[in-house]
């Protein structure tokens, strides 16, 4: 009996290790997700200061407890029209590791949905064609309740070249090739 409990516990532990949590959100009518470990917090949209001559994908900056945080519009980053502001629009604060430093970036989304556990077995590789965003932006396609959720590769989507534009305000972002 004890061996059965130990085997069941090991199986449960390995199943937990093989799944990851993702924050799902809406953007332009599609469901996207970011790994929960990169998320610091979710805040209401507001208090944004526009910075002149920024790329279209940078909406501006916010003051987050005394720190200046750039805010990126994911829709514009994907080459689509800027996100329309609604009551459910919010900013997801994401922390990226860049070498020895940590960079905090805000991401504008239409609405936050939920945190989901997606087992590794339910994640398919990124498709090589047919997506409306660059392939390197997609970490994979998570299957949830018979539908696909686009798992974003935040290290590629929120690249520092775009954020570096804050330091060099006169440089425009190069157009993104889609698909």
Q: Compute mean pLDDT per 10 residues along the chain, 179 residues long, and list them.
A: 41 52 92 93 92 86 92 88 91 86 90 92 76 73 88 80 50 34
- Supply the DSSP string of 3-65, one letter for each residue: HHHHHHHHHHHHHHHTEEEEEEEEETTEEEEEEGGGEEEEEES---B--TT--TTEEEEEEET
pLDDT at 6: 42
What pLDDT is attached to residue 129?
Answer: 62
Pairing of strands 19-27, 58-64: unpaired
User: Quick check: pTM over 0.85?
Assistant: no
Q: Note the pLDDT of residue 154.
A: 85
Cα separation, 126 vs 3, in Å, equals 40
- What whole-number distance in Å separates Cα of residue 20 and Cα of residue 36? 8
Residue 82 has a pLDDT of 87
> So what's the pLDDT on residue 81?
87
**pLDDT number for residue 92:** 96
């Amino acid at each position: 009996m004890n061996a059965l409990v130990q085997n069941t516990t090991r199986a449960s532990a390995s199943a937990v290790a093989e799944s990851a949590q993702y924050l799902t959100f809406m953007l332009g009518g599609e469901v996207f997700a970011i790994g929960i470990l990169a998320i610091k917090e979710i805040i209401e949209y507001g208090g944004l200061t526009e910075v002149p001559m920024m790329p279209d994908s940078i909406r501006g900056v916010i003051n987050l407890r005394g720190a200046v945080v750039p805010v990126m519009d994911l829709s514009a980053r994907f080459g689509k029209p800027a996100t329309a502001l609604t009551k459910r629009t919010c900013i997801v604060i994401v922390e990226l590791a860049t070498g020895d430093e940590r960079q905090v970036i805000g991401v504008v989304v239409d609405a936050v949905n939920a945190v989901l556990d997606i087992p590794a077995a339910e994640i398919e590789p990124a498709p090589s064609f047919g997506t409306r965003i660059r392939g390197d932006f997609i970490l994979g396609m998570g299957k949830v309740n018979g539908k696909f959720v686009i798992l974003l590769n935040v290290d590629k989507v929120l690249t520092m070249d775009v954020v570096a534009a804050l330091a060099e305000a006169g440089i425009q972002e190069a157009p993104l090739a889609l698909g």
